[in-house]
């Protein structure tokens, strides 16, 4: 049982490049989400999904796309990377779409630098 797996661990992009951050969980969790963590800002929600085929925007969705074709996977796409997207990205999942029923399980993060 690997939990939440994020790849890659580190990535450097040039401005304007695109890439996909991968997130997979093997706990059959319905709820998955993406956060970014910046110094002094805590964690901010980018996008989330309450089940396969359903996604919604969080607090800071601009510049990011997501899709949820399977229960296990929730990739985050950067369409045209900007230096402001330099951050550490965390994927998290929980059993229930309603987080008060179960806590979030986090991956170990992807550290992204955009030059």
Partner 1 sequence: SQQGEEDPQALSIQEGENATMNCSYKTSINNLQWYRQNSGRGLVHLILIRSNEREKHSGRLRVTLDTSKKSSSLLITASRAADTASYFCATDDTGANSKLTFGKGITLSVRP
Where do contacts with partner 1 occur on this chain (CB under 8 A)? 4, 31, 33, 35, 40-45, 48, 50, 56, 58-59, 90, 92, 97-100, 103-109
What are the counts of helices (DSSP H) followed by strands (DSSP E) for the chain? 0, 11
Residue among 17 and 43 whose Cβ is closer to partner 1 = 43
Complex with partner 1: residue 14 or 42, whichever CB lies closer = 42
CB-based contact 90:27 (threshold 8 Å): no
3-state secondary structure at position 90 = strand
Least gap, CB of 87 to partner 1 (angstroms) = 14
Residue 104 backbone phi and psi in degrees, to 5: -85, 140
- How far apart are CB 80 and partner 1 at their closest, in Å? 26
For partner 1, give the closer residue by CB, 38 or 80: 38
By C-beta, is 50 or 82 nearer to partner 1? 50
CB within 8 Å of 39: residues ≥ 6 apart = none
**Least Å from the CB of residue 10 to partner 1:** 11
Per-residue burial over 82-101, b = 16 or more CB atoms within 10 Å of its CB, e = otherwise? eeebbbebbbbbbeebeeee
Provide, rounded to whole angstroms, the least separation between the CB of residue 90 and partner 1: 6
């Amino acid at each position: 049982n690997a939990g939440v797996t994020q790849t890659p661990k580190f990535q450097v992009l040039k401005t304007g490049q695109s890439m996909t951050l991968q997130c997979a969980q093997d706990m059959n969790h319905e709820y998955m989400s993406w956060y970014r963590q910046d110094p002094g800002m805590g964690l901010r929600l980018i996008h989330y999904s309450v089940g396969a085929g359903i996604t919604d925007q969080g607090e800071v969705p601009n510049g990011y796309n997501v899709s949820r074709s399977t229960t296990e996977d929730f990739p985050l796409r950067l369409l045209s990377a900007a230096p402001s997207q330099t951050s550490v990205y965390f994927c998290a999942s929980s059993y229930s779409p309603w987080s008060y029923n179960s806590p979030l399980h986090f991956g170990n993060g992807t550290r992204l630098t955009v030059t």
